[in-house]
Structure 1
């Protein structure tokens, strides 16, 4: 457990750009980093949970939720070198799995949909996944290695490794299984073509360009 805590500490020191180097940075992480504190509490609660200790793991989880604003169920399995940045409002459910060196921003929910009929109710994040602020990843779905979940995305289906998903109804826009999307330049060309077609139609009908056309 101590090695896991050390790796979480190192992840904040190395990957949070707001943390200065040297002794000052060390003290800021140790005393003022809620994401690290939440993970520290979870490591202890999870160890007791695995030993079958009743009640105390949940009390620890509740204490660190009050302290940090981050709720991690003692049963959640959290990998190595995790960075929870800012952290307020993060919720990680009982059967959630978070792989190594993942980054989770504030307001993220790794939750269930309420329709599950088996023990695995929460998402599985493989290694090096980044989950943007406010994103909701729901249900027993797998998020592939290196995937990136955009801010405020709602993800209800598996995400391929290396893909990027965005939007309230999250769609793959980059990587395997991506949905083709028109570029702004293409959309502008289509608008210009439509304007030209409208002018040609006006000319054919001998309409005044300043007169509104009812369609």
Structure 2
């Protein structure tokens, strides 16, 4: 838990000075902690309770992490609203997710197969990005805001949408 708090304090520029106490109000932190309990219950094959805990956490935080998902250390979910992490997703260490990120399936994958993404270590996934299907995102990759990722991203890869110049737009 201490590692999670430290990770948020290090990666969120809004937390400095006395504001460090606000870290305990971050929904991403609470969602990760609830997931760690739900995941352990899921691994122990406790029926119903892990899914119930994940749904209560979703109701309170706006972040849905399936109990079957494997989440590494020091995951930082900034703002958090609308984040979804699917059942067979694997998230590495020191990953940063912004709000409205989806790590989901595409549909059509056989039941029981790995149908969600595998995210490497130190990956940053921007606002509204969707990583769908059994794809791999390599270590140190960056996925920009609103990107749709349907294929593997190499280690250190950078995906960005083209910028639109709105100067002079009414």
Q: TM-score, normalised by structure 1?
A: 0.72
For residues 21 and 164 of structure 1, the distance between their equivalents in structure 2, rounded to whole angstroms, comes to 33
1:52 aligns with 2:37: no
Matches within 5 A, 1:52-201: 52-117=45-110, 119-167=113-161
Does 1:12 find its partner at 2:8?
Answer: yes
Which of the pair is proportionally richer in helix? 1
Structure 2: unaligned runs, 5 residues or longer:
163-170
**SS of residue paired to 1:13:** helix
Root-mean-square deviation over aligned CA pairs: 1.3
Out of 30, 33, 37, the residue aligned to residue 26 of structure 2 is: 33
Is the CA contact (8 Å cut-off) linking 1:134 and 1:151 kept in structure 2?
yes
Gap runs ≥5 in structure 1: 169-215
CA drift of 1:28 comes to 1.0
The whole-number CA distance in structure 2 between the counterparts of 1:14 and 1:6 is 12
Aligned to 2:82, the other structure's residue is in SS state coil
Contact 1:132/1:152 (8 A) holds in 2: yes
- How many angstroms apart in 1 are the aligned matches of 2:139 and 2:59? 31
CA distance in 1, matches of 2:156, 2:83: 23
Normalising by structure 2, we get a TM-score of 0.91
> Matched residue pairs, number?
161
| In structure 2, distance between residues paired with 1:17 and 1:151 | 19
Conservation of the 8 A alpha-carbon contact between 1:154 and 1:167: no
Higher normalized contact order (CA 8 Å, seq sep 6+, divided by chain length): 2
Matching residue of 1:213: none
- The aligned residue for residue 165 of structure 2 is none
